[in-house]
Amino acid sequence: MCAHIQGRLAGKVALVTGIASGIGQACALMFARQGARVVGCDLDAAGAERTIALAQAEGLCLDSLHPCDLTDPGQARELVMFSVALHEEFDCLVNAAAFAAFAWIEEMDYQSHWQKTLVAELDSVFLLCQAAWPVLRERGGGSIINFASANAWMALEGSPALAHCAGKGGVLAMTRQLAMEGGPHGIRVNTLSPGLIETGATRDHLARDPALRQTALSKQMLRQRIGLPEDVGWAAIYLASDESAWVTGSDLTIDAGATAS
């Protein structure tokens, strides 16, 4: 039984993807702590189960469909139907699931690096937005939060992020278009653009290339540390809440000032 929590998202239902780790996990748990009933998913079934256990230990409301491959149109639709079956409708979609292959252009393989990254970062967002759109229209609106990146705005020296930059730049542009299409229906669509965030995936990369951490810090205006998933989660809570009722087509950078310097 979920605890009754009065928070900034009390009474809302949120779909959050990529809940097994990193930013997606942080958003799922933080949304639930703010009173939302969260429906999550992840391709990593074991990781999703660990996140559910964390939520249950706090008495939070978190269900999950896993494994779930959001690059498959059928599975994207299945996630929407799973949420509707549980809660009849939902208020918010958080497209936090991510995958990117990092390689310099001369070493980049078209299928396993370039194509796989663009499918994971663009197709998955498009497919779930498309599947969720009729539900949000029917309920008279809602909030979609997509994830771009500081890499959509700048190249970080030492980071072989060509495919990732292209994918996140595409999310940024796609979100503007979705905001325009959603406006008449009350559907707000915004992006968050995190800088370098310390997650399980980036931690391994930083361990292999210690100079990258210092390069990232040198780009920031706040140089005490790189970002944490919770830094992004608080911004997502704002965009999911009624506090941002007049915000759409916007990109909120969570990067310690890196893209402003």
When pLDDT is averaged across residues 207-230 and rounded to a whole number, the result is 91
89 dihedral zone (left: phi>0; alpha: psi -120 to 50; beta): beta
3-state secondary structure of 17: strand
| Residue from 260, 259, 202, 257 nearest 229 by CA | 202
Give me the chain's average pLDDT, please. Answer: 95
Percentage of the residues of the chain whose pLDDT score is greater than 90: 89
Residue 250's DSSP bridge partners are none
The mean per-residue pLDDT over the stretch 161-186 comes to 97
For residue 258, pLDDT over 90 is answered with: yes
Q: Per mean pLDDT, which range of 23-32, 206-215, 238-247 is the poorest?
A: 206-215
Question: Does pLDDT of 83 surpass 80?
Answer: yes
User: Chain-centre distance of CA 128, in angstroms?
Assistant: 12
User: What sign for the dihedral angle of Cα 97, 146, 163, 152?
Assistant: negative
207-227 mean pLDDT: 90
- Could you tell me which residue, 206 or 140, shows the higher pLDDT? 140
